[in-house]
Amino acid sequence: MPEALLDLREIYSSRPAAPSEQLSPTAQVLVLAALLGHEVNDANMTQLADHYRVAIMSISRAVDELEALKLAQPHHVGRQRRLRLRMSGAQLWRAIEDRLQSPVRKSRSVIGELPDDLAVLADESALARYTMLAEPKIICRALPASAWKRIAKDYRLESSWDRDERRQEVQTWAYDPQPLSEDGTADRISLYLSTRHDPDERIAQAAEQLLEPFEW
């Protein structure tokens, strides 16, 4: 009986998990990187983990996810597992658009000195870099949620009142925005995902302009 139970468990665990409605944060990073023109095809797990600042195990699970969704195909070079997406450009965008989600987990108003190279411009501050939207009075930056507690402690960030002119907005994201960013500004697609449903029509309209440079 123990042997029979072991066989059943092995058979069950080998079945691919049913695809979820939305991509996981790490799988989303890999897809966005491809859409942004990064060289991710044929990259091995270590290269992807190092560049996008994610654990190798998370990268491996993300590739499993993309393969289950038929967005990627199994690919090995020797003993190394590598990413091989099945599509690119407009075809990839159409295949995953409905599965993408806003990276923003939480927004905070804080007081404190946050170095420019530690957190990228986000929200209206980033939109002002890409579109004709005016720069906001209160700067907004984004950093990974996993690093928030450490950064808040190291730089002594404190919560602020909404009327405090010294404040800045800090968004914590489901993934690190730095590897996808452009010149210290959140990448166009992540920014689009985080602002496309904003109740402010100015911001929502500016969000739509972010995709204009892409041939989709």
Q: Is the Cα torsion angle 204, 206, 210, 211 positive or negative in sign?
A: positive
Q: Are residues 112 and 182 in the same domain?
A: yes
- Kindly tell me the sign of the dihedral angle through the C-alpha atoms of 17, 22, 23, 24: negative
Q: Which one of 99, 121, 139 terminates a domain?
A: 99
Task: Give residue-wise pLDDT tens across range 155-195.
Answer: 999 998 877 888 999 999 999 999 999 999 999 999 999 99
Q: Write the CB contacts of 42 (distance below 8 Å, at least 6 apart in sequence).
A: 75, 77, 82, 83, 84
Q: Is 72 helix (H, G, I), strand (E, B) or coil?
A: strand
Residues 111 and 188 in one domain: yes
Q: What pLDDT, on the 0 to 100 scale, is given for residue 108?
A: 96
Residue-averaged pLDDT of the chain: 90
Query: Do 110 and 199 belong together in one domain?
Result: yes
Segment 69-119, tens digit of pLDDT: 999 999 999 989 999 999 999 999 999 999 999 999 999 999 998 888 899
Determine the structural domain holding residue 204 and report its residue range. 104-209
pLDDT in the model for residue 4: 43
Q: Total structural domains in the chain?
A: 2
* pTM (2 d.p.): 0.87
pLDDT for the residue 114: 87
47 domain-assigned: yes
The dihedral formed by the CA atoms of 59, 65, 66 and 69, expressed in degrees to the nearest 10: 180
pLDDT at 18 over 60: no
**More reliable by pLDDT, 2 or 198:** 198
53 found inside a domain: yes
